[in-house]
Structure 1
Amino acid sequence: MRGFSNLIDSTAHAEGPPPDGFWRFMRWALRGALPAIFFGLAISIAVGATEVGSAAVIGWLIDLAQSHGPEALIAETWPLLLAALGFFLVLRPTLMGTGAAINALTLGPNLFPLVLARLNRHTLGQSLSFFDDDFAGRIAQKQQQTARAITEAVSETVNTLGLAVTAIVGAVAVMAGVNLWLSLGMIAWLGGYALLIRHYMPRIRATSTDRAAARAIVTGQVVDTITNIATVKLFSHGAHEDQATLRALASYRGAAIDFGATSAAFRFWLMTLAGALPVMLIGGALFLWSRGAATAGDIATAGLIATRIAQMSGWVSMTAMGIFANIGEIEDGILTLTPPHGIVDAAHARTPETSRGAVDFDHVRFGYGRRRAALEDFDLHVRPGERVALVGRSGAGKTTAVSLLLRLYEVEGGRILLDGVDIRDLTQDALRAQIGMVRQETAMFNRSALANIRYGRPDATDEEVFEAARRAEAHDFILGLRDFKGREGYAAHLGERGVKLSGGQRQRISLARVILKNAPVLVLDEATSALDSEVEAAIQDTLDTMMEGKTVIAIAHRLSTIARMDRIVVLDAGRIVEEGTHPGLLKRGGLYAGFWNRQSGGFIDLAAE
């Protein structure tokens, strides 16, 4: 049985990005699994044939018994009886068991991870703009919703479609063998059934799409609140967030009621139609028997087929309703998950092994898609090994500049060069491998301290991780960590986003990660802002060692960082307005000098005047 679980490679990659059309998207999501799906469909067809065959065999056995009588039945028909026995005890169980194995071992366990991995892989390749415009929880929920809906839709289609179609076609054929009028009556019933499906399924599909969209909004609202729970509590806005959640839930409730009303009406008419089939077939067979035009076996066959198809019609219709509801959820997921990547590697993009560290911003313009630019005609040239500080008010464009260097966003004008090569001619992974960055807002995974630091270089040994932590003044506090599962030291998990650490501790782990990476270009976005003066002083020698021989671009408010730079570049409203050394800029008496004159406690006050 376990061999069925290997019929689909659940780790296979998809070819290209996901299309936005439903059927093309389904082919993309299921590529590689289609042979197993069609095999399951073939088994389902065979099972459907046995369903009708069972009724025909029973009716045939009744007529066989009547024609031979009790005395001669066994003696004269035992080979036929053995064949019937083999049908019920061997063929039918084998086909049904195979069908069950395909659903339970092939499709169920493999399709969900196959589709979710493909969707997640595509989502990970999106630019930061994609994530800036949506809730993280909503995106994750859409991925899982779509993968689950595809899995259920395919499994139910394989399990139901082949069986139902074969059973219905076979039932019509068997009824034609009994009496042509019974067959025509069944065809008329099937026509009514088809009209009922055609009327209600599009409505179920549409209301399911609305329900899925409303559910995703609820998820996004709840995740957004929980993610910012500290802010909620600090501003005493629990009631406000509760009301926002209730509004989202009210929209979901309305969409769910619309879906439920459509489903309930569909089920009522379905049950009415299903009840008409036994009345028609059994009543018709009895009428024909009374006229001598049907046998007792024909009555039994008609009765078995009528009750079985009536039961099956309810099961098939509810399954079809589920399939169409899943289709609605898939279509809702397609809207969110299929946008093409905003930043892609060029076909000719290359992967340099090493970098000298020359960085050039060549008349760069960028405005996050808005008319007002965050950077305008930004022209900066940094020599290999040079240390440059970017200084300016909040919103001047400092972080935007380093984000563009890392190609987290795409420039809207101009170009950025690394060692004279346009960064768009490098693969994104190769570019970012040459740059180590410590951000003011440090990011931690809910993994061990060891794994968080080793993220800088996955092939690093434990001792190399420990040494990087020592240089970042993180080793001692890491040894004292303990999580709720009792894991200690480097094995202790840090909690979601590193919430179990102080800001300074998170920043030191982030420094250790970049020390371990040892990239030729170093970007410091307020790398010591969360450190107290004592710890900062302790790691200044480490920072000096980190910067030795590297190209450094530092976003700096803190004098201790600026003092170590070779050149200071002052930004205002997205433009470079001043550039030079610290003494030269002070003599100039411009914007930088004004910042310096308002300094306090070792910080430059960059608040607007």
Structure 2
Amino acid sequence: MLKSIFSFFENLVPSFPKRNEGTPPKNPIKFILFFTKGLCGFFIAASILNAIIAVGEALFFVCLGLVVDWTSSSSPHNFITQHGTSILVMLLCAGVILPVASVLHSLLIHQTISSNYSSQIRWQLHSYLLNQSLSFFNDEYAGALANKVMQTSVAVRTAVMKLIDVMVHLIVYITTMLIMLSNANISLCLPLAVWLVLYITSLVCFIPQLRKASKLQSEQRSTMVGRIVDSYTNISTVKLFGGHGKEEQYAKNAMDEFRHTEYKALRILTMFDVSVQFMNYTLLITLVMLSLWLWSNYLVTPGAIAIATAIAIRMINMSRWIMWEVGAIFENLGMIYDGIHTVSVPVSVKDPENPVKFEKFTKEIEFSKVSFGYKKSVEIIHDLSLKIKAGEKVGVVGPSGAGKSTLISLLLRFYDVDSGAITIDGVNIKNFTQDDLRSLFSMVSQDSSLMHRTVGENIEYGAKSELQKEDLEEVAIATDSLNFIENLSDYRGGSGFDSVVGDRGVKLSGGQKQRIALARVLVKNSPILILDEATSALDSQSEKYIQENLEKLMLGKTVIAIAHRLSTLKKMDKIVVLDKGQIVESGTHEELLAHNSLYKKLWSLQTDGFLNKFDETQDN
């Protein structure tokens, strides 16, 4: 029964709704409202229930005062006769209406809103960030981004729910109490009214300071987390270079800065706390003395004194609760400000509103007068034009920094060109969705990036559907990787294709990672194959095996190969030589060697093992 009730309320709101279109607003209120669509009705219902509970709690003190007056004016023998009906109504409210309202309020807050609200925000932020361009991720710590997605979702939920619980409850409660006290004697309202004005003044004085301190604290927390994650991510480099001490100091500096921002926020809270306590004690003393004076002059009943004193004590207790809750609200608002600064960034590479559906690659890829720079003031690619026919195998070479990898990034539309156009079969790549465009390409790079998942999950990452074990084994045999895969195991007890490869494939050698990457490419089976320094980081034996697999993989495909090892490009139909972002030469391997060309110089230097030295000379 209970489980069914919980499930009913938990399923009133979807945890993973469709992502809201557009960029999350930078204004905190609009940002919160952006992620609150579909939940407004539940927040209103929770607020109404909260108001009912607040009125009930305030009326409890009124009932207490009435009972005091009734007991002082009635004898025990006729008390029930005179006031039995009123007592019954009080018990009905206290024993039925308030508990029902409290239960419904708890179910809405905890089951319907709490988990689902943060889950919705977390899901939508994650979905939005996945659509960001590579440049966005290059400028941020991965750990800090993940931290901001998590903390922003929780901060929005906490701030909104505390506002509902605190502000609605507080406003309704205080209004009800002031009305009840004024009915007893208007004079009893004066100390509470003065206290309320002073309390609000304190909030107005301290809240802006607290908000500023909370924002700084949240920013510093993200920096601290980012530095710690950076150390863990690059732990092999840290150990290789004996960087333990450096990393300790690197993180310690961030922790120290965070500690100081925390001190600043807590100092403000302490001053706020002291101010509130002073006002509280003044209120209690003033109210007690005023009540006694009014009673001595027959202006109020003992019940009114009981009401006023009980309300004053309740207000004193509530004031500290309000103070800490307001502090928590603004601490969370600081996290929201920090999150907005990072996540509310417009997507720089967008899909078209009316995309062209790509059917089949049959003609050519064309770069037409393309220019691009990561910074507008520095061009990496300048006025470059190039045609690659379907089925053609093209090598791209040049000194370091010539723009080879940038050319591939532009083709894959990781970045948009500054001028010119890139077309496939005559259609500008901006007219395709990014997923459609990239479905045409498979890529093997120098540093094959593997997920911290199982071998099987990594291989089938590019597949349109889940592969059976027989399919995985077939692909592994084709890439000479079945033997080492079968010998893998992990700490969870997984083995073979179910073995986790570690962060970025850290448990595998360079050659093993490349073979997994090749298997993934084989599964995707795209018409265009990109090889970006695919074998440059391997030893000779691994390179030989990978090279043989690559030759099989290239059959029947359009190939674009970037390589420092020029020997791998001999079989290309055409070789394009880049220098300073421009094509300076083009031809077959034999044609380029027949002339006194840059390619010939690169070939000569590489055969003597001096390519790196030449790169440095070119850069200088």
Indicate whether the TM-score tops 0.5: yes
Q: Which moved more, 1:324-333 or 1:281-290?
A: 281-290
Question: Relative to 1, partners in 2 of residues 1:404 and 1:252: Cα closer, same or farther, differing over 3 Å?
Answer: same
User: What's the CA shift string for 1:281-329, capped at 9, x where partnerless?
Assistant: 3332222111111112111111221111221121112101111121122
Say if 2:366 and 2:387, in contact at 8 Å, map to a contact too.
Answer: yes
Q: Which moved more, 1:374-383 or 1:60-69?
A: 60-69
1:502 to 475, 496, 509: 509
Aligned match of 1:426: 432
Deviation at 1:344, TM superposition (A): 0.6
SS in 2 for 1:321: helix
1:66 to 58, 65, 72: 72
Question: Relative to 1, partners in 2 of residues 1:603 and 1:519: Cα closer, same or farther, differing over 3 Å?
Answer: farther
Aligned match of 1:311: 317
Deviation at 1:560, TM superposition (A): 5.0
Say if 2:361 and 2:390, in contact at 8 Å, map to a contact too.
Answer: no
User: What's the CA shift string for 1:5-61, capped at 9, x where partnerless?
Assistant: 223222112232201111111111222222212211111111111110110111112
> Are residue 607 (structure 1) and residue 578 (structure 2) matched?
no
Aligned match of 2:227: 221
- 1:461 and 1:253 map into 2 onto residues whose CA distance is 50
Say if 1:211 and 1:252, in contact at 8 Å, map to a contact too.
Answer: yes
- TM-score when scaled to structure 2? 0.95
| Aligned 1:12-161 pairs, distance under 5 A | 12=17, 13-161=19-167
> Are residue 10 (structure 1) and residue 18 (structure 2) matched?
no
Aligned match of 2:495: 488
User: What's the CA shift string for 1:466-513, capped at 9, x where partnerless?
Assistant: 322222222221111100111100001111111111111111111111
| Aligned 1:232-251 pairs, distance under 5 A | 232-251=238-257
Q: Which moved more, 1:427-436 or 1:288-297?
A: 288-297
- 1:15 and 1:93 map into 2 onto residues whose CA distance is 41
- 2:332 and 2:149 map into 1 onto residues whose CA distance is 13
Say if 1:388 and 1:552, in contact at 8 Å, map to a contact too.
Answer: yes
> Are residue 534 (structure 1) and residue 561 (structure 2) matched?
no
Deviation at 1:541, TM superposition (A): 4.4
SS in 1 for 2:578: strand
1:417 to 419, 423, 426: 423
Deviation at 1:596, TM superposition (A): 1.5
- 1:560 and 1:58 map into 2 onto residues whose CA distance is 95
Aligned match of 1:187: 193
In structure 1, list runs of 5 or more residues that go unmatched.
Answer: none
- TM-score when scaled to structure 1? 0.96
1:254 to 249, 254, 260: 260
Q: Which amino acid aligns with 1:6?
A: N
Deviation at 1:75, TM superposition (A): 3.2
Deviation at 1:580, TM superposition (A): 0.2
User: What's the CA shift string for 1:518-566, capped at 9, x where partnerless?
Assistant: 1111111122234443344344443233222211101012345312311
2:351 to 329, 334, 345: 345
Q: Which amino acid aligns with 2:558?
A: T
Deviation at 1:240, TM superposition (A): 1.9
Aligned match of 1:574: 581
Paired residues in the alignment total 609
Question: Relative to 1, partners in 2 of residues 1:541 and 1:504: Cα closer, same or farther, differing over 3 Å?
Answer: closer
Q: Which moved more, 1:136-145 or 1:579-588?
A: 136-145
Deviation at 1:258, TM superposition (A): 0.9
Q: Which moved more, 1:593-602 or 1:341-350?
A: 593-602
- 2:610 and 2:527 map into 1 onto residues whose CA distance is 28
> Are residue 591 (structure 1) and residue 617 (structure 2) matched?
no
Say if 2:566 and 2:603, in contact at 8 Å, map to a contact too.
Answer: no
- 1:601 and 1:104 map into 2 onto residues whose CA distance is 71
Aligned match of 1:392: 398
Q: Which amino acid aligns with 2:490?
A: D
Question: Relative to 1, partners in 2 of residues 1:357 and 1:257: Cα closer, same or farther, differing over 3 Å?
Answer: farther
SS in 2 for 1:598: helix
| Aligned 1:372-387 pairs, distance under 5 A | 372-387=378-393
Q: Percent identity?
A: 36
Say if 1:560 and 1:602, in contact at 8 Å, map to a contact too.
Answer: no
Q: Which amino acid aligns with 1:70?
A: P
- 2:356 and 2:174 map into 1 onto residues whose CA distance is 59
Say if 2:565 and 2:606, in contact at 8 Å, map to a contact too.
Answer: no
- 1:393 and 1:219 map into 2 onto residues whose CA distance is 38
Say if 1:394 and 1:607, in contact at 8 Å, map to a contact too.
Answer: yes
